[in-house]
Chains A and B, each alone.
Chain A
Amino acid sequence: MFFLSNKASKLRIREAENARKNRLEFIKALADGQVTRRELIKWGIFTAGGFLAWKHGLNPFVSSAYADSIPTGFPRSPLFGVQAFTQPMPRFDVLPRNPNPFTFLTPAPTKEANTTQQLLNTALEGVTPGDTGPIEGRPPGPIWAHQRFDTLPPQIAVEVSTEGAKVNTVYNPQVPSSLNSGIDPTQGFHPRFHPGLPDQGPLALWTFNGTLPPKLLIGRYGEGILFRHRNKLPFDRTQNGGFGIHTLSTHEHNGHHGAENDGFTGAFFFPGQFYDYHYPIVLAGLNTINTAASDRRAGSPNGSGGITNVPGDWRETMSTHWFHDHMFSFTSQNVYKGDAGMFNIYSALDRGNEAINDGVNLRLPSGTAKDFGNLDYDVNLMLADKAWDANGQLVFDIFQTDGFLGDVMTVNLVYRPFFEVERRKYRFRILNGAVARFFKIALSDGSPMSFIANDGNLVPTPVVLTQLDEQGIAERYDIVIDFSRYSIGQKVWMVNLAEHESGKLPSKDLSLSEALSGTSSDPCVGKFLEFRIVRNPAQADQSQVPATLIPNPDLSSVPVARTRTFKFGDGAGQTTNDPVTSFRGPWGIKTDDGAMLAADFGRVSAAPRFGTREIWTLQNDGGGWDHPIHIHFEEGQVLARDGSASKVPAWEKGRKDVYRLRPSGSVTITMQFRDFGGMFMEHCHNTTHEDNAMLLRWEIDDGGTPFLRPLPTPIPRPQGVTFEPPTEVLKNI
């Protein structure tokens, strides 16, 4: 049991509350700058065996200072009398798309970072009166200029902010209220997990545009997006509600873009600045495959029922992405605080229109009214566990380096909601948006589901399942549920079968009977989303789940230039001491049997050559934890698990970008490195592990202009980004 039972004694709860307050004292001191994380680590606060842990209940590695195991130190989140399944689940809030970024945005976007100076707020760290700094936080100069900005200029502008919680008065789910469980978007959507729970304060919840529901970005191939992200968080870093940091770097997860748009962990920007991310949305291989754009399968909806051909490999078509903060050593806190959204990409194959029958469109459940991007029957789900204090405000424990777990399940950032459905097929794009929790999903009656996409990539062949595989953090599983099997008035629930006792890994996969029995000590096991079958479809269901979706790219004729091995484990050391780029933590990565190293975004650990293919083996160096490993920029095909091709399950036979290693397990993948260059990352997406410090930098440094090997490291400050040589370049990169 990792949270105190509701039946725990008052003394036990009071002691736990005291322990939590003690930790918050540290957190506040950290936020106030009275002490640094580096100092805390040096002091041994993060390590086991310190006297303080036993005296004050601070150390998360000790089961408890007060007998029962409560690693997070939190009492149960109070529910204020709220019951599950008493509020509708909101659809995502679709971000406005504006044509012509060069006239819509002020100032107009530029290829290189806009270094126009502005007077800085003196509440920013290191700023003295009269200091000025650039209005854009992107590193300046040609290395961080938008690649292919001239040949693939953005055509759509999307302008967002990150800011403190406020009421949403412009909620746009892009579906009628009848398809959004009756929610009236004009009524103002409050920043709270349930109407019966308190509103989140502006320091507790930081989201895109400062509002709920979470945001959905809509894109299509061949139509580049200029994503202008404004940082409207408090200038004073201590104004964070106890956790989170006010600097941001936004990762478009699984984006095939230049590194300047990847949300590199060290390319963060400050309050008062913006950062222009350029998402060209191109098919991988556009320079070498289908360069004449003659294959209709490599295409994009043209707005009027047809296809606009684009260059590249149609087998590289992607569908379900997400975007989230990637601030160095603060990703878990900022994402937990709400800084995450989803991104649906539409194509000729997966166009979000189930009626167009052109021989290319797969006609997956979606709708028919619009040429592309119909959301009527295509639903984004963001799953995340949360915890809050006695006042109902979000809390987080930065001392929990195993993996922070919440005790309350949310879907689309509301507590255990219901969702009304018609008797027909629906597509659900399920994102694990947790910090450290794995999910394993089934329907409460054991009914079959079609698994159609893994990590946003349609699989070669759909897989019929009654329970999904464990879903690691950041993995996306797209499934189709056919509700026509139910009668009007029936209910069925999504159920989580993965039980945790800590954030290191799931402790047990429960059977449906066990999960539904209510006996698990894990509050996030069991039903978390109620489907209410409310009516027959207004129109006939024209959607399909074809027997063939998207086959894998054929790499058989592409030679393997290099193999690499990365081991993920604990006991990491640190060879560098840069105050900005390096971090110390228990977690680390060995590269090709080198030392287990903690993160330093100034260190170059690998540098695949532009235009090549490699095979990487990702190994879990221990049996006491699991790691969902994310590799940026390039997708991989899983060749083997534990060295065996036969151990790759059917649902992992497509393309992926997150690889669950399993305890003591390994995954062997192959990737190509094409189209763009720059510095990228590889890390555990248990973001607690990532932040403490299981992350490395790799780069393609011969794929852009200018060519530099290795690339200089950006060092952001409010006054401007400077560059320094890498702190370390591993041998034989």
Chain B
Amino acid sequence: MKMRRLLVTPVVLSFFVAVLAGLAWWAGAPASAATTNTVLIPVSGTVTGLPENVAFSGQARVSSDLVLDTSRFATPPHVLLTIDLSNVSGTGSSTGAKYVAGGSGTDVRRPLVSTDVVEITFPFSGGTTMSMSSARSGVVSFALSFDLNTGAITKGTGTVAAPNFPN
């Protein structure tokens, strides 16, 4: 086995170095605990489509958990966002009927950057509870600003639209 012949000696010679490096590596401190910040973000916009257009408004509750990695991996900071649309509702343009938005608790993992556009889809249906049989979907696009030290959302707006994805 040719590699073995080539490698054993360097391995043995470097063993103590590797151990020292390994000690430093294995002793890496765990990541700091996540800290949660929650904000209310105004949301508005219209989902066009049949049987009628639906205009949404309300406040999304968006929680941000900052995750820092101080281990050997040094993964770049990121945020875990939990998006709750339970306080966002819609009104039908023709019937005036009420629509409820679902998908509350949608989790999104994003790298921490100063500004980010986070787009999620969400289901909605007429009435006060979500119904699969009549469910449609919309898109809400959040323009978010983050505090790079805490991961907290410092500014944000949400715009609702109809899904229009490339095939």
* Interfacial residues, chain A to chain B (CB-CB below 8 A): 22, 25-26, 28-29, 32, 34-35, 43-45, 47-52, 55-56, 61, 402, 442, 444-448, 450, 462-467, 469-470, 480, 482, 491, 504-509, 511-514, 516-517, 545, 569-571, 586, 621-625, 642, 647, 649-650, 662-665
Question: How far in angstroms is the closest Cβ of chain B from A464?
Answer: 5
CA distance A25 to B7 in the complex (A): 11
Q: Is residue B160 contacting chain A, with contact meaning CB distance below 8 A?
A: no
Known: A25-B4, A650-B105. A47 touches B123 (CB 8 A): no
Known: A512-B119, A622-B30, A663-B67. A61 touches B72 (CB 8 A): yes
Q: Is residue B149 contacting chain A, with contact meaning CB distance below 8 A?
A: no
Q: Are B22 and A48 in contact (CB under 8 A)?
A: yes
Instruction: Enumerate B107-130 residues with CB–CB distance to A below 8 Å.
Output: 107-111, 118-123, 125, 130
* Interfacial residues, chain B to chain A (CB-CB below 8 A): 1-4, 7, 10-12, 14-15, 17-22, 24-28, 30-34, 36, 65, 67-75, 78, 80, 82, 102-111, 118-123, 125, 130-133, 135-137, 139, 163, 165-167
Question: How far in angstroms is the closest Cβ of chain B from A544?
Answer: 10
- Which of B18, B32, B71 is close to A50, meaning CB atoms less than 8 Å apart? B18
Question: How far in angstroms is the closest Cβ of chain B from A623?
Answer: 3
Q: Are B103 and A28 in contact (CB under 8 A)?
A: no
User: What are 8 inter-chain pairs, A to B, with CB distance below 8 A?
Assistant: A26-B3, A43-B18, A442-B121, A504-B73, A512-B165, A624-B31, A649-B105, A663-B67
- In the complex, the chain A residue whose C-beta lies closest to that of B31 is A623
Question: How far in angstroms is the closest Cβ of chain A from B133?
Answer: 8
List residues of chain B with CB within 8 A of the CB of A29. Answer: 1, 3-4
Q: Are A448 and B137 in contact (CB under 8 A)?
A: yes
- In the complex, the chain A residue whose C-beta lies closest to that of B105 is A649
Inter-chain CB contacts under 8 Å: number: 197
Question: How far in angstroms is the closest Cβ of chain A from B22?
Answer: 4
Known: A34-B1, A34-B4, A570-B26. A665 touches B103 (CB 8 A): no
List residues of chain A with CB within 8 A of the CB of B165. Answer: 444-446, 512-513, 516
Q: Are A513 and B27 in contact (CB under 8 A)?
A: no
Q: Are A25 and B2 in contact (CB under 8 A)?
A: yes
Known: A507-B111, A571-B26. A623 touches B139 (CB 8 A): no
List residues of chain A with CB within 8 A of the CB of B68. Answer: 623
Greatest chain B CB density within 10 A among A43, A463, A623 is at A623
List residues of chain B with CB within 8 A of the CB of A480. Answer: 132
Q: Are B120 and A32 in contact (CB under 8 A)?
A: no
CA distance A349 to B132 in the complex (A): 20
Q: Are A50 and B34 in contact (CB under 8 A)?
A: no
Q: Apart from A22-B3, A444-B167, A621-B30, what 16 extra A-B contacts exist at CB < 8 Å?
A: A29-B1, A44-B18, A47-B18, A47-B22, A48-B25, A52-B7, A52-B10, A445-B165, A448-B137, A465-B106, A482-B133, A508-B109, A512-B119, A623-B75, A663-B67, A665-B34
Known: A446-B137, A586-B26, A623-B75. A465 touches B102 (CB 8 A): yes
Known: A61-B72, A622-B31. A512 touches B11 (CB 8 A): no
List residues of chain B with CB within 8 A of the CB of A514. Answer: 119
The 5 A-B residue pairs whose C-beta atoms are closest, nearest first, are: A49-B21, A623-B31, A44-B18, A624-B69, A25-B3
Q: Are B18 and A509 in contact (CB under 8 A)?
A: no
Q: Are B75 and A504 in contact (CB under 8 A)?
A: yes
Q: Are B1 and A509 in contact (CB under 8 A)?
A: no
Known: A445-B163, A464-B130, A465-B123. A506 touches B22 (CB 8 A): no
CA distance A26 to B1 in the complex (A): 9
Greatest chain A CB density within 10 A among B21, B75, B109, B136 is at B109
Known: A43-B15, A447-B137, A649-B105. A511 touches B1 (CB 8 A): no
- In the complex, the chain B residue whose C-beta lies closest to that of A571 is B26
Known: A22-B3, A623-B67. A663 touches B80 (CB 8 A): yes
- Which of A48, A50, A463 is close to B72, meaning CB atoms less than 8 Å apart? A48
List residues of chain B with CB within 8 A of the CB of A545. Answer: 132
Question: How far in angstroms is the closest Cβ of chain B from A381?
Answer: 20
- In the complex, the chain B residue whose C-beta lies closest to that of A452 is B132
- Which of B33, B73, B110, B167 is close to A664, meaning CB atoms less than 8 Å apart? B33
CA distance A51 to B18 in the complex (A): 8
List residues of chain A with CB within 8 A of the CB of B137. Answer: 445-448, 466
- In the complex, the chain A residue whose C-beta lies closest to that of B35 is A664
Known: A52-B11, A624-B71. A47 touches B109 (CB 8 A): no
- In the complex, the chain A residue whose C-beta lies closest to that of B16 is A44
Q: Are B69 and A516 in contact (CB under 8 A)?
A: no
Q: Are B135 and A448 in contact (CB under 8 A)?
A: yes
List residues of chain B with CB within 8 A of the CB of A469. Answer: 107
CA distance A130 to B80 in the complex (A): 61
Question: How far in angstroms is the closest Cβ of chain A from B128?
Answer: 13
List residues of chain B with CB within 8 A of the CB of A508. Answer: 78, 109-111
- Which of B15, B102, B123 is close to A44, meaning CB atoms less than 8 Å apart? B15
- Which of B17, B27, B108, B121 is close to A446, meaning CB atoms less than 8 Å apart? B121
CA distance A45 to B28 in the complex (A): 18
CA distance A195 to B145 in the complex (A): 49
Q: Are B123 and A570 in contact (CB under 8 A)?
A: no
- Which of A464, A504, A622 is close to B132, meaning CB atoms less than 8 Å apart? A464
CA distance A185 to B119 in the complex (A): 43
CA distance A540 to B91 in the complex (A): 33
CA distance A625 to B133 in the complex (A): 38
List residues of chain A with CB within 8 A of the CB of B31. Answer: 622-624, 663-664
CA distance A464 to B126 in the complex (A): 13
- Which of B12, B19, B34, B166 is close to A516, meaning CB atoms less than 8 Å apart? B166
Question: How far in angstroms is the closest Cβ of chain B from A604?
Answer: 25
CA distance A586 to B25 in the complex (A): 10
Q: Are B11 and A45 in contact (CB under 8 A)?
A: yes
Q: Are B135 and A464 in contact (CB under 8 A)?
A: yes
Q: Are B69 and A622 in contact (CB under 8 A)?
A: yes
- In the complex, the chain B residue whose C-beta lies closest to that of A25 is B3
- In the complex, the chain A residue whose C-beta lies closest to that of B19 is A44
Q: Are B106 and A467 in contact (CB under 8 A)?
A: yes
List residues of chain A with CB within 8 A of the CB of B135. Answer: 448, 464
Q: Are A509 and B22 in contact (CB under 8 A)?
A: no
- In the complex, the chain B residue whose C-beta lies closest to that of A480 is B132
- In the complex, the chain B residue whose C-beta lies closest to that of A626 is B109
Q: Are A49 and B119 in contact (CB under 8 A)?
A: no
Question: How far in angstroms is the closest Cβ of chain A from B163?
Answer: 4
CA distance A43 to B19 in the complex (A): 9
Question: How far in angstroms is the closest Cβ of chain B from A667?
Answer: 13
CA distance A516 to B121 in the complex (A): 14
- Which of B28, B75, B123 is close to A448, meaning CB atoms less than 8 Å apart? B123
Q: Are B103 and A49 in contact (CB under 8 A)?
A: no
Q: Are B139 and A47 in contact (CB under 8 A)?
A: no
List residues of chain B with CB within 8 A of the CB of A663. Answer: 31, 34, 67, 69, 78, 80
Greatest chain A CB density within 10 A among B7, B119, B131, B136 is at B7
Question: How far in angstroms is the closest Cβ of chain A from B55?
Answer: 19
- Which of B14, B32, B74 is close to A52, meaning CB atoms less than 8 Å apart? B14
CA distance A93 to B80 in the complex (A): 39
Q: Are A47 and B103 in contact (CB under 8 A)?
A: no
CA distance A506 to B20 in the complex (A): 30
CA distance A650 to B22 in the complex (A): 42
Q: Are B121 and A467 in contact (CB under 8 A)?
A: yes
Q: Are A446 and B73 in contact (CB under 8 A)?
A: no
Question: How far in angstroms is the closest Cβ of chain A from B24?
Answer: 8
CA distance A51 to B7 in the complex (A): 10
Q: Are B14 and A467 in contact (CB under 8 A)?
A: no
- In the complex, the chain B residue whose C-beta lies closest to that of A515 is B165
- In the complex, the chain B residue whose C-beta lies closest to that of A621 is B30
List residues of chain B with CB within 8 A of the CB of A650. Answer: 104-105
Q: Are B17 and A50 in contact (CB under 8 A)?
A: yes
Known: A446-B139, A642-B34. A624 touches B166 (CB 8 A): no
List residues of chain B with CB within 8 A of the CB of A664. Answer: 30-34, 67
List residues of chain A with CB within 8 A of the CB of B107. Answer: 469-470, 509, 649
CA distance A450 to B125 in the complex (A): 13
Greatest chain B CB density within 10 A among A51, A55, A571, A624 is at A624
